[in-house]
Structure formats: structure tokens, C-alpha cells
């Protein structure tokens, strides 16, 4: 079914839009109301080049430490092409296709604001690449997050730009219809003309923390999904371990007043409603990993909410330098500043890293309790009958522990790790790209930690019900449905088998959202 395209106007791009473009190949178009702004700012650049004055950074000067070197009008195109070539210095494995698509969409949206002085055709070319499936190869490493993501964005620009010589080996690489080839060849096959950049346009393409924002937007969407699944994991573990319901009482959480905490407790209450396992023993209190789950997951929710605000602002921000403001008095309508600095994204991603790592950390503690006969209130050691011959979920818990430890290293705050660059002209940088990459890796790890908890909790529930001689009707209204969905994908562990297969099946349940819609 053909749906209306997502319109880029520089103002209204959402995280959900980015996810739809990146992961579901949603079509994109330039909004008509953005075109007059784009044309007006471009006209001023053309006038500046024709006059030769005033002196404006990056338009008639060199870049970075060469900002004081004048550039004549007849060298503008060469300056732009050299900028893209010289800055294509990223290294490492290619960024995933979804990150590349998100980057292209965000960059096009940034330019659509009309402060960057580019021709509309530059934005339209990015959009056509998205719509026709031309995905440049962008090495993952090489940005310090100021002056934006210069190196990776230059690799993005290689394929869509050209000079008179149009050398194939200077067009980068791209994926088109599943095949890796030169950027020039991919654009030819997709019937998209490549551009000879004019003044300011190369700088507008590579100057901004856009790869950071793309990584951040996708990590954020996944973190929100994890928080919802964390509530479900708690509820299932509570059933398996015959825990107490009182820690989730509304009065407790309203007394604290934290919105995320209130939401998590409400979700868990809804999931366990009607349970005959919860509160079925005489225990007075559960351990913190169960009792304090709303306080921990809720705090993570609030942190994720802050990150959403910052990332939403960033994907609608004008981030190159200089920017053009036609309402300014005087001849010079440009202002040189630092919107390319990724500090906002870096700090938000460092906070997101900590939040998601905590979701994973407390989840692993519940897995540990479930797999220990000394802590699980009567469940067999390692959640398997015939322990000894069978090892059960022993190594699944070890894997969860390994991932938690990995998260602790990845959660080191990247934003405080500035290294001066460009002969000390760029003497404080954000490391936003590293922060966002590490956030995505923590999300990946934590998805698997929660997957292991879902497996362990479902196993614990089955063993508990078997021991009591009861059926699944004694579970809560939400946990009963979730348990059934897990069992459709992952059978009860009656003997040892390859657990990595089960873990990845549970990961797919989380990523596809099949278990959601229950309790929240």
C-alpha cells in the first residue's frame, strides 16, 4: 500500500518518522513550504560569491585552521569538492543501513530549514537516494562530534557529488539493491544525477552532528521499547518467584511523585492483576531487584524521556556553520557559530547509556535469583529438572552477567573525553558519535539480557505450576497472555539444548513488539 511521504520542512521531523524512514523504507519528500526559504538563502550566497564581499567563513575562506586563507570565486567548486575528499577519512566497519538512512533523512531535514545556503537540488538528491535505495558506505569511526560528524558525513557526500573529472575511485561506495559498488555506479543504476557542488554546499553537507543524531534517534526508540519490556519481565519474574504485590501499590509511587516510577508500577499492577501466585506465600518482602524495580526502571524511563526531548530538538536543528539569517541588518547576513557541536547529543546519550545499563543490571539480578535454588522460593537449581545431567539455564545467566559487565565499560561517559583537534582551533569536542554508538551497543546488550529474563521467568512459571499442579489460569491477566506468546516461540526447557537460539527468538519477540500491548 502506498502511503503519503514524510514531508521534510526542517521543523516537524519526529523520532517515529526517523524510525519509519530507517527501518520501514518510508518515502520522503521536501515540503513545499520549505522551498522559498531554501531559495532565498541560496540567492544570498550567490550574491556574496558574485560581489566577493563580505568575507564569510567556509564560503570564500578555507576551513578550520585555514579559516583566514581567502578563496577566490573561481575556486569555490574546487574548495567544496576538496572538502569532501579530504574529510573522507573515517575508518572501521560500515554503519548499518538503517543508520545511514536515518542520517540522510536528518541531514536533508536540517538543510530544509533554509539557513544553510544550499540549492534545493542538494536536498532533493538526498531524498531521491532514500526513496530509490542508494545507501552510501559510511565507516563507523572517525568523528569527534565537532565540527559535527565531518568524516562520516563526507563519506555520505562522496557518492552524491562529483567534479569535472568524475573519477570512479573518488565516489566512495554504496549499497544498491543488495550489491556493494562504487557510489558513481550506484547513482547511475538508480538514475540519480550526481552534483557538482557550489559554494557553501560541501560544508552544509558535512558540518553537523547528524550521524550522532541518527544513532541517537534509533537507540532512543529501542530504549523506550526496552523499558516497556522491562516492566513485563518484572511481572513474569514476580509470578515465577511468587513475589509480593505491595511494592507496586499506587500509594507508594504517588508518594514519591516520579512519573516514570508511577508508570512502571501501574504497568506491573495491570499485568499481574488476578494472579493467584503473587502474594501466595508468607514472605514479608522481596529482594530489591523485584521490590525496587519501579524505582529503577522508572528512573530510567525519566532519563529516556529527557533524551527524547534533546534528540527531537537535534533532528530539527540547523547545525552547519556559518548559518544565513536574511533578517539581519547590514551586508553580512551570515553568522559563524557552533551549532555543529554535539554536546547536547553526547550528554543525552551518556544519560541514555546509564539508564539502559541499569535496566539490564537489575534484570540480570532477577535472572540470578530465578536460577538459584537458594533464592527462588522452591524452584529447582538452574531452572531445570534433572540437574546434573542437565545444566539448564546456567550459562544463560553467565551470558547475562557478561553483558552487564560489558555495559559498565561502555557506559563510561564519552562527553567528558575531549581531545583537541585541527591545530587547537577545535580545542573542545563532544565525542557525541562515540556516545551514541556506545548507547546503541548497550541497547543491543540489554535487549539480550531482558530476553534471557523472559526465558527464565517463563521457565520458572512452568516449573512452579507443575509443582503446584495448577494451570496457567492462575497467572495474572497480562502475564498469562505474555507467557503464552513466549511459549509459542520458545518451548519449555525439558532437557539441555542450544540456548543461543532461544535467546535470539526472545530478542525477536522484544524487537517486534509482539509481547507489548499488555498492561500499558
Among all residues, which ones are annotated catalytic? Answer: 57
Distances (CA, A) of 139 to 13, 125, 128, 515: 25, 21, 22, 35
Report the distance separating Cα 43 and Cα 199, nearest Å. Answer: 11
Angle at 246 between CA 243 and CA 249, to 5 degrees: 135
Which of helix, strand or coil describes residue 493? coil
Cis peptide before 147 (omega within 30 of 0): yes
Q: Quote helix, strand, coil % in the chain, to nearest 5.
A: 60, 10, 35
Residue listed under C-alpha cell 573515517 = 90
Q: Which residues contact 255 (CB under 8 A, 6 or more apart)?
A: none
Long-range CB pairs of 291-294 (<8 Å, 24+ gap) are: 291/244, 291/247, 292/247, 292/362, 293/230, 293/234, 293/247, 293/264, 293/268, 293/362, 294/247, 294/248, 294/253, 294/261, 294/262, 294/264, 294/265, 294/268
The string of DSSP letters for 175-203 reads: EETTEEEEHHHHHHHTT---EE--TTHHH
Beta bridge partners of 208: 148
Chain centroid to CA 350: how far? 12
Distances (CA, A) of 349 to 42, 231, 305, 415, 447: 34, 22, 12, 9, 17
Beta bridge partners of 334: 324
How many H-runs (helices) and E-runs (strands) does the chain carry?
18, 11
Which residue, among 366, 363, 400, 395, has the nearest Cα to 382 in the 3D structure? Answer: 395
Can you read off the three cell numbers belonging to residue 341?
557541536
Is 25:303 a contact under the CB 8 Å cutoff? Answer: no
Q: What is the CA radius of gyration of the chain?
A: 26
Amino acid at each position: 500500500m502506498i502511503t503519503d511521504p514524510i514531508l521534510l520542512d526542517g521543523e516537524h521531523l519526529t523520532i517515529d518518522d526517523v524510525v519509519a524512514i530507517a527501518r520501514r523504507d518510508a518515502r520522503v519528500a521536501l515540503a513545499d513550504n520549505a522551498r522559498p526559504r531554501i531559495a532565498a538563502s541560496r540567492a544570498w550566497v550567490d550574491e556574496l560569491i558574485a560581489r566577493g564581499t563580505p568575507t564569510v567563513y567556509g564560503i570564500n575562506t578555507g576551513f578550520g585552521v585555514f579559516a583566514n586563507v581567502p578563496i577566490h570565486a573561481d575556486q569555490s567548486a574546487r574548495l567544496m569538492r576538496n572538502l569532501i575528499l579530504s574529510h573522507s577519512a573515517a575508518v572501521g566497519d560500515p554503519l548499518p543501513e538503517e543508520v545511514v538512512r536515518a542520517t540522510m533523512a536528518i541531514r536533508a531535514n536540517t538543510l530544509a530549514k533554509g539557513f544553510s545556503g544550499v540549492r534545493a537540488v542538494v536536498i532533493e538528491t538526498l531524498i531521491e537516494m532514500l526513496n530509490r535505495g542508494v545507501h552510501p558506505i559510511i565507516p563507523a569511526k572517525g568523528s569527534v562530534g565537532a565540527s559535527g560528524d565531518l568524516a562520516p558525513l563526507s563519506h555520505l557526500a562522496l557518492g552524491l557529488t562529483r567534479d569535472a573529472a568524475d573519477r570512479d575511485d573518488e565516489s566512495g561506495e554504496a549499497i544498491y539493491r543488495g550489491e556493494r559498488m562504487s557510489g558513481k555506479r550506484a547513482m547511475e543504476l538508480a538514475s540519480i544525477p550526481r552534483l557538482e557542488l557550489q559554494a557553501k554546499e560541501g560544508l552544509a553537507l558535512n558540518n553537523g552532528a547528524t550521524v550522532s543524531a541518527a544513532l541517537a534517534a534509533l537507540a532512543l526508540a529501542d530504549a523506550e521499547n526496552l523499558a516497556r519490556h522491562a516492566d513485563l519481565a518484572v511481572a513474569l519474574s514476580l509470578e515465577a518467584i511468587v513475589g509480593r504485590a505491595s511494592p507496586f501499590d499506587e500509594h507508594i509511587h504517588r508518594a514519591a511523585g516520579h512519573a516514570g516510577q508511577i508508570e512502571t508500577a501501574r504497568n506491573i499492577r495491570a499485568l499481574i492483576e488476578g494472579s493467584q501466585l503473587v502474594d501466595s506465600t508468607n514472605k514479608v518482602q522481596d529482594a530489591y531487584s523485584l521490590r525496587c524495580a519501579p524505582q529503577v526502571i522508572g528512573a530510567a524511563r525519566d532519563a529516556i524521556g529527557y533524551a527524547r526531548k534533546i534528540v527531537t530538538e537535534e533532528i530539527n536543528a540547523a547545525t552547519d556553520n556559518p548559518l544565513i539569517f536574511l533578517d539581519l541588518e547590514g551586508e553580512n547576513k551570515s553568522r559563524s557559530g557552533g551549532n555543529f557541536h554535539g554536546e547536547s547529543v553526547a550528554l543525552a546519550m551518556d544519560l541514555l547509556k546509564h539508564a539502559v545499563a541499569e535496566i539490564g543490571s537489575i534484570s540480570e539480578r532477577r535472572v540470578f535469583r530465578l536460577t538459584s535454588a537458594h533464592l527462588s522460593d522452591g524452584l529447582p537449581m538452574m531452572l531445570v529438572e534433572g540437574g546434573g545431567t542437565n545444566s539448564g539455564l546456567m550459562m544463560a545467566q553467565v551470558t547475562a552477567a557478561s553483558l552487564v559487565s560489558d555495559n559498565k565499560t561502555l557506559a563510561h561517559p564519552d562527553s567528558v573525553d575531549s581531545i583537541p583537534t585541527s591545530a587547537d582551533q577545535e580545542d573542545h569536542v563532544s565525542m557525541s558519535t562515540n556516545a551514541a554508538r556506545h548507547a546503541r551497543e548497550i541497547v543491543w546488550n540489554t535487549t539480550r539480557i531482558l530476553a534471557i529474563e523472559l526465558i527464565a521467568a517463563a521457565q520458572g512459571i512452568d516449573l512452579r505450576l507443575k509443582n503446584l499442579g495448577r494451570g496457567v489460569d492462575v497467572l495474572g491477566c497480562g502475564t498469562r497472555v505474555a507467557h503464552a506468546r513466549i511459549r509459542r516461540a520458545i518451548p519449555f526447557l525439558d532437557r539441555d539444548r542450544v540456548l543461543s537460539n532461544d535467546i535470539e527468538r526472545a530478542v525477536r519477540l522484544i524487537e517486534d513488539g509482539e509481547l507489548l500491548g499488555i498492561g500499558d
